[in-house]
Amino acid sequence: MGECSQKCHNMFVVESICVAWFTLEFVLRFINAQSKLAFARGPLNIIDAVAILPYYVSLVVDIKDESHEDVIMGAGRGYLDKLSLILRLLRALRILYVMRLARHSLGLQTLGVTMQRSMREFGLLLLFVCVAVTLFSPLVHLAESELAPFAATHPHHSFSSIPASYWWAIISMTTVGYGDMVPRSIPGQIVALTSILSGILIMAFPATSIFHTFSRSYQELKQEYKRVWKEERDEEIAAESGKSCSKDDSSLDELKSVSKNGNNGMKSSKTPMLPSAAF
């Protein structure tokens, strides 16, 4: 209890500090936002809120559970189990803290923009995979369950049904191959070889288009970063030059006022004094 509780306590302290910092940042950005509605609709802001809220919800629920631990009995136990399940799901959402890096990472932003722009290519890829899985699953089921002579003696190696063969077709076409379902017969291995080669070709079809989209998005975001940085730098230089110009103007005004006062004094001193005999 001691070592585990101490580790949990340390982790809780670290998490509390991080969540407090994230909350402060989120609130300050919300206050300084020009449009609160546009801020609330932002995808990254929604991720921030979803990542922060589970901490406070779990904190409140834990306190409530401790105070009502002796009260909840019988039928209320099912409600408590459901509440604990929801709490565990909310705690699992804390992994969205990692998505906060997308705000400061050019690579993650490029990945998000690429996925957004390549939805049609991803849809075509999913369609190709579904068609191929629908094609090769009945074939491997036929080859292993009907043509294999030892299918009945090794039921754990057999492909019991076509829906059960879907999993094998998916992991074979994506070249993952966990080995939990393996064709043993020669016809089944031929079907497996065909499905693997087809999977490689299917994966390669949209890969070129997605790569070009990724490269184009990266260059656009990079240029945007450079433009924003240049604008900020120009604003800083303009502000500094404005301050220096205001100082120079004030010094020039002072010099002008001093020179005017000096000129007035010299004019008064240079006024000709006529002799009294002239009058």
Per-residue pLDDT of the chain (279 residues; tens, 9 = 90+): 445 567 777 877 887 888 888 888 888 888 988 888 888 888 778 877 877 877 787 777 665 555 555 444 444 555 556 666 666 666 666 666 666 666 677 888 888 888 889 999 999 999 999 999 999 999 998 888 777 655 545 555 568 888 889 999 999 998 888 888 888 888 889 999 999 999 999 988 888 889 999 999 999 988 888 888 888 888 888 888 877 666 656 655 665 565 555 555 544 444 444 444 433
Tell me the three state secondary structure of residue 161: coil
d(CA 72, CA 67): 10
The pairs formed by 154-161 with CB atoms below 8 angstroms and a separation of 24 or more are 154/184, 157/181, 157/182, 157/184, 159/183
Encoded tokens for 110: 């490029």
Q: Domains along the chain? A: 2-69+77-103 (1.20.120), 105-244 (1.10.287.70)
Nearest to 136, CA basis, from 156, 157, 166: 166
The label of the residue with tokens 């579904």 reads: 130
pLDDT at 198: 93
Tell me the three state secondary structure of residue 273: coil
pTM as predicted: 0.57
